[in-house]
Structure 1
Amino acid sequence: MKQTQFSSDFTLGILGGGQLGKMMLYTTRKWDIATYVMDKDDTAPAFQGCDVFFEGDIMQYEAVMEFGEQVDVLTIEIENVNVQALQDLEDKGIAVSPSAKVLNLIRNKARQKSFYQKQQIATAAFEVYPKPNLGHERSYPFIWKSAEGGYDGKGVKVIRQASDLTDLPQAECIYEDMIDFDLELAVIVARNYDGEMKTYPVVEMEFHPEANQVEYVICPARINMDISDRARELALKVSESFEHVGLLAVEMFLTKTGELLVNEVAPRPHNSGHYSIEGAITDQFEQHVRCVCNLPLGATESTVASVMVNLVGEEGHNGKVIYDGIEDILALPGVTPHIYGKKETRPFRKMGHVTVVASDVVEARELAEKVKGRIRVVAEV
């Protein structure tokens, strides 16, 4: 008889206890899949929902090895993990998704961009430097990106003049052309061990101009069918090139001339798929569990127009969190807040998101603007 993951001794391990891990647990609790989580902080959002919580550093080799040897399938909710430990666990027969090879490629932006170049995947022109280079020949302005460790707008900066390079980390980086784009788009691709693949609808992302964080994710993107088809085909090409297992969020630029350029990818559930909890037949977190457990993939179609609103800490606020105005937005039709469980807020820290659903995308986007104006993530006075 085939081993089953449901109500059995099977164990799924998640490295990282943040909000993405917490939202994966919505599915594992629903299906009674035993789930272990490791994070160095026992106040992590996923602490309450898992079967067993391990307090440990996911960047520490011995901790990851000890944790991984206790599970049947191991996945991540953040890229900053000890990749050598993942490789050694794979060599011991543990199913690791994404694989150490894929993660090693993706988590370093210099390697990731060079991979696109080798695979003939369109991306912005770039150069790699061992550290910020004042003697470059690139015209201003351009984009500096840290090769490792950047996330949520960190590790990215617009360089308008030579002095902008002086205070940057002295570590490997890339210089990238600024793209004259119309829209920033994203497509999530799901792939299981059997090679079954599905794409979610193309979404449109609107970013905060200062923090470089997503403020709104709009589904469906306000583009024509030709662009939508090309974006999904490009995302599939990227996924096939990596041969990943799990979710792959493919972010891309739509240029003024109609070209699609891959910006970067994330091998896990992603901000661009949060809308799917209320807006799709199969939400991205359930889909990721299906992928890594090699289960049949769920339908990816949207059931309703939706917009995700990011909830981040207000500037000037540090301390115990208050969601000022949450009662107001709960009174609005089609509005569902998701609070991540982080007790302390700080400027631009991701604290939650709100899904807004409506009969069409115009109505959903207008309602999302109201939500954004009525809720503030602040600290107790």
Structure 2
Amino acid sequence: MDSTFPTIGILGGGQLGKMMAAEAVRLGIETRLLSPKDAGPMQPYSGAQSGDWTDPDVLRSFVSPCDVVTVESEWAPAAEAAEILPVDTVLWPSPQTLSLIKDKGVQKQHLREAGCPVPEFARCETVESALDTAADFGYPVVLKQYRGAYDGYGNATVHSSDELREAWPELAAEDGLMVETFAEFSRELAVQVARRPNGEQVVYPVAYTEQRDHRCHAVEVPADIDDTIAQNARSTARDAVEAVNGVGLIAVELFEMPDGRVLVNELAPRPHNTGHYSIEGSQTSQFENHIRAILDWPLGSPALRAPVAVMVNVLGRRDGTPPRTDGLRQALAVDGVAPHIYGKPDVRPGRKMGHVTAVGDDREEVRKQAEMAASAIDL
């Protein structure tokens, strides 16, 4: 077995790539990052570069010194990179896994065929087909763009045929879009699963996720739910990750329904916003376990370090201005809170600029501390 320290290539230079790289560097692993533009979060790393990552020559130069290549998002050019990898270099998650996940219609179809519980949906090529489906399901319905949607962008909840017709041109691609029943859920949940190439995996505690304006506002772990539902959520997440043969950290977003069922909403083949709490809150963070998993190294414990962990996102409030340190000193003064500022070069309303995490014994007090610190930061 080769005992030299490996080199990891990360396709992506945003906050997820930055936090992956931080864990790799801590373990003495050389890290390279490639972004199609000069991304702010990756700038602290000497191995960061920007360029046309669809250009075979750029990709070849980037991956040639790497032992393992991974992705920051499902839209990175993994398939293109896989075609030019050196003989002994591997890419995780695999292009096959990414192809099953990055198209929401393909993802839902595959999960349903694998026996995973999902909301009722249909893949609709035309607006007429979507209107017929919506009439069968009953309004409201959710329209989902197949590719490229995130943080509420690319989705729309429509309550009538007129609203559906109005939303269609903006969301539909040449192959249409997905129409899904509106899930009248009790809670939105999330579970992170870290999985090695041999199938060994660890499952993180179930997180409760609170959304505001279609964006994740806060995450509480463990979710304050019945033990039976928690076990079902973890089992469902494990099955979903196995269904796509995921390797690395895979996040599974779930709906807890009023009747106790747990449905799969979406998969993310990478560390995820709902798992950021794990940096301070878990024995092994989602980012470290992602690095361990893609290297096929032993996985670390996902257990919590304290009874409760709460993460609150820090979103941009202004438009087109550089970040400022306003409020950061006040946030740092909140006992037991860890702020993370991503280093994005400009602020936009609703843009994820950072997050704060608090851990402790009392759920209400920990949530209060996290909210207080996050609200103080006005980047």
**TM-score normalized by the length of structure 1:** 0.92
Partner Cα separation in structure 2 for residue 188 and residue 288 of structure 1: 10
Between the aligned partners of 1:369 and 1:52, the Cα distance in structure 2 is 35
User: Relative to total residues, which structure has the larger strand share, 1 or 2?
Assistant: 1
Residue number among 40, 43, 50 corresponding to 1:47 in the alignment: 43
Contact 1:5 1:33 in 2 (8 A): no
**Paired residues of 1:74 and 1:96 also in contact (CA < 8 A):** yes
SS at match of 1:290: helix
After TM superposition, give the deviation of residue 92 of structure 1 in Å: 4.6
One-letter amino acid of the structure 2 residue matched with residue 112 of structure 1 = Q
Where do 1:112-151 residues align within 5 Å? 112-130=107-125, 132-133=127-128, 135-138=131-134, 139-151=138-150
User: Alpha-carbon deviation of 1:131?
Assistant: 5.0
Which of 110-119 and 128-137 deviates more?
128-137
2:376 alignment partner AA = R
**Correspondent of 2:12 among 13, 16, 37:** 16
Q: Quote the offset at 1:118 in angstroms.
A: 0.6
Alignment map for 1:165-204 (pairs within 5 Å): 165=164, 166-167=166-167, 168-171=170-173, 172-204=176-208
- The 2-side partners of 1:43 and 1:115 are apart by 33
Match of 1:58 in 2: 53
Cα contact 1:220–1:361 (8 A) shared by 2: no
Q: Across the two proteins, how many residue pairs are aligned to each other?
A: 369
Query: Structure 2 CA distance, aligned partners of 1:59 and 1:153?
Result: 26
1:249 maps onto 2:244 in alignment: no
Q: Hey, what does 1:68 align to over in structure 2?
A: 63
For residues 203 and 75 of structure 2, what CA distance do their matches in structure 1 show? 25
User: What TM-score do you get using the length of structure 2 for normalisation?
Assistant: 0.92
Aligned position for 1:157: 156
Q: More displaced, 132-141 or 220-229?
A: 132-141
Could you tell me how far 1:136 is from its partner in structure 2?
2.3
User: Counterparts of 2:52 and 2:143 in 1: how far apart (Å)?
Assistant: 29
Name which of 311, 314, 319 aligns with 1:311.
314
Contact 1:185 1:251 in 2 (8 A): yes
Report the 3-state secondary structure (helix = DSSP H, G, I; strand = E; otherwise coil) of the residue aligned with 2:171.
Answer: coil
Following the alignment from structure 1 to structure 2, what is the Cα–Cα distance between the partners of residues 5 and 246?
Answer: 21
State the 1:60 CA deviation: 4.5
Identity %, equivalent residues: 37
The aligned residue for residue 103 of structure 1 is 98
Q: How far 1:176 sits from its partner (Å)?
A: 0.5
**C-alpha distance in structure 1 between counterparts of 2:92 and 2:126, whole Å:** 31
Match of 1:268 in 2: 270
Aligned to 1:376: 378
Aligned CA distance change for structure 1 residues 178 and 323 (closer, same or farther; 3 Å) = farther
Residues 137 and 273 (structure 1 numbering): CA distance in 2 closer, same or farther, change over 3 Å?
closer
Q: Which amino acid aligns with 1:38?
A: L
Tell me how far apart the structure 2 counterparts of residues 159 and 322 of structure 1 sit (CA, whole Å): 38
Tell me the CA shift for residue 287 of structure 1. 0.6
Give the CA deviation at 1:320: 1.1
Cα deviations by residue, 1:189-239 (Å, 9 ceiling, x for unpaired)? 01112321100111000001x2x0100010111112111111111111111
- What is the deviation of 1:85? 1.0
Alpha carbons 2:310, 2:367 under 8 Å: kept: yes
Q: What letter corresponds to residue 225 of structure 2 in structure 1?
A: I
Hey, what's the Cα distance between the residues in 2 that align with 1:309 and 1:151? 18
Cα distance, 1:42 vs. partner? 2.9
Alpha-carbon deviation of 1:269? Answer: 0.6
CA shift for structure 1 position 5:
4.8
5+ residue gaps, structure 2: none
Q: Aligned with 2:232: secondary structure?
A: helix
Could you say if the C-alpha distance between residues 110 and 93 of structure 1 is closer, same or farther in structure 2, counting changes exceeding 3 Å? farther
- Deviation per CA, 1:294-338, whole angstroms, max 9, x where unpaired? 100001100111111111111x53211224322112111111100
Structure 1 stretch displaced more, 367-376 or 229-238 = 367-376
Instruction: Name the CA shift for 1:170/1:241 in 2 (closer, same or farther; >3 Å).
Output: closer
Contact 2:10 2:17 in 1 (8 A): yes
For 1:24, the aligned partner's letter is M
Paired with 1:36 and 1:176, the residues of 2 have a C-alpha distance of 39
Give the match's secondary structure for 2:324.
Answer: strand
Deviation at 1:25, TM superposition (A): 1.6
Equivalent-residue separation in structure 2 for 1:131 and 1:89 (angstroms)? 37
| SS state at 1:240 partner | helix
Aligned to 2:294: 292
1:236 — aligned with what? 238
Structure 1 residues 43 and 174: alpha-carbon distance in aligned structure 2, compared to 1, 3 A threshold: closer
Q: Which runs of 5+ in 1 are unaligned?
A: none
